[in-house]
Amino acid sequence: MKKLVSESLNEYMESEPKPVFKGEKLTGLTVDDVEPDEFLVGMAVEAMHSSDIVVQKSLVLQNLSQNPKFYSEGMKDGLFTDPKAINVYKKYFIDKKQEEKEEKFKEKTQEAPEELDLNL
């Protein structure tokens, strides 16, 4: 007899984690244990290797368990060349840093305008 969807879902939710693919090492990490920006960049990078989201997630968690900055460091070193992954990296790391710098500059100029020397 066929299993009901709810029975299959409950079985999946309650069972111990099982490897998703051959050679996978279970890390014990969850998405909540890693930085969200690193995870999202990792998902974009691993999309090159698999279209299965569960496999992508597993690969990301394996890499982040070894190095929590695996994907951002890899991007800086030029290891990842996929344009989609690079765009995600730029969105969460480069653009974010630029916004923070601009915000700090605005705060400084608004707090102490008398300290700025405009006579160049």
Residue 87 lies in a domain: yes
> The domain containing residue 101 runs over which residues?
27-110
Distance CA 80, CA 71 (A): 8
Residue 95 lies in a domain: yes
Residue 90 lies in a domain: yes
- pTM for this one? 0.66
Q: Which two tokens stand for residue 19?
A: 């490897």
pLDDT tens for the 120 residues of the chain, in order? 455 555 555 554 444 566 777 777 888 888 889 999 999 999 999 999 899 888 899 999 999 999 999 999 999 999 999 999 999 999 888 877 677 777 777 777 776 555 555 565
Residue 119 lies in a domain: no
Structural domain count, the chain: 1
Distance CA 24, CA 79 (A): 22
Residue 117 lies in a domain: no
Angle subtended at Cα 52 by Cα 59 and Cα 2, rounded to the nearest 5 degrees: 120
Residue 17 lies in a domain: no
For 56, counting Cβ atoms within 10 Å of its Cβ (0-12 exposed, 13-18 middle, 19+ buried), the class is buried
